[in-house]
């Protein structure tokens, strides 16, 4: 019968490495669970999908559309709208003149559009508006 | 819906499993062999399915039927090949079953795995669309790619370069991850269903842990395998990135797979695992641009290795690697040169600008400081994976013969080369360096970290190697008497 005896340094090394790793996992678990409670869908993608769904059904799939908003241009807002609107593509110069309005608060959307040379086509709930830009 | 997703995941995993068993011998113990084939199969299967999905779309159009037929044919072919021509060699490695106190390591690993799984579920429930890059790039392109008509090509359309006048959403990035998620969505007929990218992220995250544990069990034995899994699961960055649905954890999986398969090929004579190493290398290139850099450096490593190890059959070795990598690597290069729009962060970089940045010392110090900060963030004070590795390295040491082992030297050099390539990419970056470091270094770290853990532990002396084996006097006497009695009877 063979018995393996391990040197103390081996036992210390293995025990410490295992204990430290387990503690690190547990510690991070606590931290991240707290963060998860606070930051639920921080970019509101689920909400954007709901907001844009009715408009998405009105336009031909894959249409290139323009974008206007009452809030300054910000990557998070435009990219989350793009994710929700795909396969529609948000571009600077839409070939067929469709422009999507993405608003943070109720306002006179027709006036907002006409100030930018856009004609209001349809208002959807939650600050989503479809405009048309006359094609030259 | 969830049945169709399960069918999609099972189909790719089975495909990868059959391919893995075709080229790998049977390893002892059986648990490590099964875990290796399943984890390797899960990752390789994703790569195979993703390539199949993209090639079928290119050649036969975006209908789901040709893709399903192609995947089914691939499954039948892999099954038949595995049945008829599988590697039937049996390889016995070091002692890879628990004995005595080492059972405790399994308990610790199971606890860490439970923590990681629970965290993954909570993170995915609270943030089902993943991190920024997941919904802004990877899954957006998956949505476009899954379109059932010609629109699928918008996944790499130049319009993605300037969405609504903003910066690029990287239509030039390779499509392994987006393609696989798109394939799941096509099969589910539910584009943008969050369960597919979440399941894919889980597959790669836990597949990486399983691959690390099983490979270390085969190469170095029980305690090293358990410690490898524990150290990876004790890495904050890995736990965090796992649920983000980014391409960095999958890329880390393929890097690890290449090193693991390289070690396995080094330990046997047929060279067949090198086909899988080539396949994983190609999938790395089809996952992210960094994978192309890795493929180049790993390719160089494979060229140097036969010379360093004085192997005479190097043309066969290189042919096996090339056979594995030709399709995915070729697809990645074809996509890069003929389909992807000419864009990318470094497209506008001139030699003059690069040379100027190379001479700016503050850039180097800023990168080193950021590297240090990211290293510190991997753990929690002293409970840090790098400290765990350093402890094991210091207390167990590296055996002299292993320090000279060509597989260890070449793998370490390739990994170091990739890290240096990342470093100098930051030095010459045309982007704001602070922003570039802040948004990417942690992720690049996670691409390399599983391989760092594997290569470090594969180099260190194992706990079992330090053991002094003694004969128990009483029991040894009893055994001897039994043997004598048996001999008399016979």
Are A66 and A82 found together in one domain? Answer: yes
pLDDT at B163: 78
Cβ-defined contact of B388 to A45 (cutoff 8 Å): no
Q: Are B458 and B261 in contact (CB under 8 A)?
A: no
Asked whether residue A16 falls in the same domain as residue A70, the answer is no
Looking at the predicted complex, does its ipTM rise above 0.90?
Answer: yes
- What distance in Å separates the CA atoms of residue B176 and residue B282, rounded to the nearest whole number? 10
State which residues form the domain around A107: 45-133
The answer on pLDDT for A74 being more than 90 is no
- B96: pLDDT confidence band, cut at 50, 70 and 90? confident
Which residues 13-72 in chain B show a CB within 8 A of chain A? none
Residue A26 has its nearest CB partner, among B115, B135, B136, at: B115
Distance CA B399, CA B196 (A): 45
**Mean pLDDT within B88-98:** 79
* B116 touching A (Cβ < 8 Å): yes
**Res B486 pLDDT > 60:** no
Question: Is B122 within 8 Å of chain A by CB?
Answer: yes
Q: Are residues A30 and A96 in the same domain?
A: no
Q: What are B294-319's pLDDT values in tens digits?
A: 999 999 999 998 888 877 678 888 99
Q: Are residues A61 and A101 in the same domain?
A: yes
List Cβ neighbours of B54 (8 Å cut-off, separation of 6 or more): B175, B179, B331, B335
Using a CB-CB cut-off of 8 Å, the residues of chain B touching A83 are 129, 135-136, 139-140, 143
Q: Give domain status of residue A125, yes or no.
A: yes
The 3-state DSSP class for residue B234 equals coil
Is B118 touching A (CB cutoff 8 A)? yes
Contacts for A19 with CB less than 8 Å, ≥ 6 apart: B108
Give the model confidence (pLDDT) of B30-63 as tens digits.
Answer: 999 999 999 999 999 999 999 999 999 999 999 9
Verify that A119 and A106 share a domain, yes or no: yes
B164 touches chain A (CB under 8 A): yes
Per-chain mean pLDDT for chain A:
92
Q: Where residue B437 falls among pLDDT bands split at 50, 70, 90?
A: very high
Examine residue A17 and state whether it is found in any structural domain, yes or no.
yes
CA distance B472 to A129: 84
- Give the nearest chain B residue to A100 (CA atoms): B164
User: Does residue B347 contact residue B418 with C-beta atoms inside 8 Å?
Assistant: no
pLDDT tens track for B169-198:
788 899 999 999 999 999 999 999 999 999
Q: Does A45 touch chain B (CB under 8 A)?
A: yes
- Measure in Å the smallest separation between the Cα of B455 and chain A Cα atoms: 16
- A16 contacts in chain B (CB < 8 Å): 388, 391
Specify whether A30 is located in the same domain as A75.
Answer: no
- Reduce the secondary structure of A43-103 to three states and give it as a string: CCHHHHHHHHHHHHCCCCCCCEEEEEECCCCCHHHHHHHHHHHCCCEECCCCCCCEEEEEC
Q: Please tell me whether residues A69 and A89 are part of one structural domain.
A: yes
Chain-wide mean pLDDT for chain B?
Answer: 91
- pTM, two decimals, is 0.94
Indicate whether A54 and A111 sit together in one domain.
yes
Give me the pLDDT at residue B490, please: 44
- Lowest-pLDDT range of A4-18, B236-250, B289-303, B332-346: B332-346
Candidate from A118-132, B310-324, B345-359, B383-397 with smallest mean pLDDT: B345-359
B180: Cα within 13 Å, side-chain hemisphere = 34
Interface of B with A in 396-425 (CB under 8 A): 396
Among A6, A17, A36, A49, pick the best mutation site for testing chain B contact (most B Cβ within 10 A): A17
**A positions 57-96 inside 8 Å of B (CB):** 61-62, 64, 66-67, 73, 75-76, 78-80, 82-83, 86-87, 89-92
Determine the pLDDT at residue B161: 79
Of the candidates B165, B382, B395, the beta carbon closest to that of A13 is on B395
Alpha carbon distance B65, B53 (integer Å): 11
User: Do A101 and A119 lie in a common domain?
Assistant: yes
A2 occurs within a structural domain = no
Q: Strand (E) positions, B338-475?
A: 468-471
Contact A21 B129 (CB under 8 A): no
Count of other CB atoms within 10 angstroms of residue B331: 24
Is the pLDDT score of B97 beyond 90?
no
Same domain for A55 and A78? yes
Residues A36 and A95 in one domain: no
Whether B157 has its CB under 8 Å from any CB of chain A: the answer is: yes
Please name the helix (run of DSSP H) or strand (run of DSSP E) that holds residue B307, with its range, or none: helix B289-309
Q: How many domains does chain A have?
A: 2
Reading the block at residue B452, the tokens are: 């760092």
Suggest the residue from B234, B389, B393, B465 to mutate for an interface test with chain A (most A CBs closer than 10 A): B234
- The answer to whether residue A78 is domain-embedded is yes
Q: Please give the Cα distance from B181 to B164 (Å, whole number).
A: 25
CB under 8 Å to B303, separation ≥6 — which residues? B318
Same domain, A56 and A114: yes
């Amino acid at each position: 019968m063979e018995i393996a005896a391990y040197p103390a340094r081996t036992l210390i090394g293995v025990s410490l490495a295992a204990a430290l790793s387990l503690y690190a996992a547990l510690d991070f678990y606590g931290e991240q669970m707290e963060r998860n409670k606070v930051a639920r869908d921080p970019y509101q993608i689920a909400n954007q999908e709901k907001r844009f769904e009715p408009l998405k059904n009105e336009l031909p799939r894959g249409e290139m559309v323009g974008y206007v908003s009452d809030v300054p241009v910000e990557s998070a807002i435009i990219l989350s709208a793009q994710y929700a609107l795909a396969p529609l593509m948000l571009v600077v110069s839409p070939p067929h003149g469709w422009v999507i309005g993405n608003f943070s608060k109720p306002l006179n959307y027709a006036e907002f559009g006409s100030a930018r040379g856009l004609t209001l086509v349809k208002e959807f709930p939650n600050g989503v508006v479809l405009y048309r830009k006359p094609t030259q | 819906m969830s049945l169709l997703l399960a069918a999609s995941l099972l189909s790719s995993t089975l495909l990868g499993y059959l391919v893995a068993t075709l080229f790998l011998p049977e390893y002892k113990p059986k648990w490590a062999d099964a875990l290796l084939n399943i984890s390797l199969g899960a990752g390789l299967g994703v790569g195979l399915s993703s390539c199949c999905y993209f090639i079928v779309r290119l050649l036969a159009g975006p209908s789901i039927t040709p893709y399903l037929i192609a995947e089914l044919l691939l499954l039948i072919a892999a099954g038949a090949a595995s049945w008829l021509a599988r590697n039937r060699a049996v390889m016995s490695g070091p002692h890879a079953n628990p004995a005595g106190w080492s059972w405790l390591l399994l308990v610790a690993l199971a606890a860490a795995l439970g923590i990681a799984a629970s965290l993954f579920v909570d993170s995915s429930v609270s943030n089902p669309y993943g991190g920024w890059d997941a919904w802004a790039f990877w899954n957006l392109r998956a949505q476009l790619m899954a379109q059932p008509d010609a629109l699928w090509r918008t996944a790499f359309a130049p319009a993605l370069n300037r969405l609504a006048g903003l910066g690029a959403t990287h239509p030039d990035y390779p499509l392994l991850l987006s393609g696989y998620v798109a394939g799941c969505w096509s099969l589910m007929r539910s584009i943008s269903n969050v369960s597919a990218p979440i399941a894919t992220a889980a597959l790669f995250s836990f597949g990486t842990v399983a691959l690390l544990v099983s490979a270390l069990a085969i190469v170095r034995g029980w305690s090293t395998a358990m410690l490898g899994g524990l150290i990876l699961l004790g890495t904050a960055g890995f736990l965090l990135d796992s649920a983000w649905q980014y391409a960095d954890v999958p890329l880390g999986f393929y890097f690890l797979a290449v090193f693991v398969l390289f070690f396995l090929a080094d330990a046997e004579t047929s060279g067949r695992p090198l086909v899988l190493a080539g396949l994983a290398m190609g999938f790395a290139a089809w996952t992210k641009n960094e994978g192309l850099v890795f493929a180049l450096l790993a390719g160089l490593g494979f060229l140097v290795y036969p010379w360093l190890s004085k192997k005479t059959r190097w043309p066969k070795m290189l042919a096996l690697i090339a056979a594995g990598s030709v399709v995915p690597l070729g697809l990645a290069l074809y996509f890069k040169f003929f389909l992807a729009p000419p864009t990318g962060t470094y497209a506008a970089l001139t030699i003059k600008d690069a040379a100027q940045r190379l001479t700016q010392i503050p850039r180097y110090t800023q990168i080193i400081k950021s590297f240090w900060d990211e290293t510190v963030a991997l753990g929690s004070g002293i409970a840090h994976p790098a400290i765990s590795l350093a402890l094991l390295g210091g207390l167990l040491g590296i055996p002299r013969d292993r320090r000279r082992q060509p597989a260890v030297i070449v793998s370490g050099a390739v990994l170091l080369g990739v890290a240096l390539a990342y470093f100098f990419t930051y030095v010459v970056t045309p982007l704001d360096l602070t922003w570039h470091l802040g948004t990417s270094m942690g992720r690049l770290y996670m691409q390399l970290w599983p391989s760092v853990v594997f290569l470090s532990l594969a180099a260190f002396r194992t706990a079992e190697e330090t053991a002094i084996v003694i004969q128990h006097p009483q029991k040894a006497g009893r055994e001897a008497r039994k043997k004598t009695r048996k001999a008399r009877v016979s």
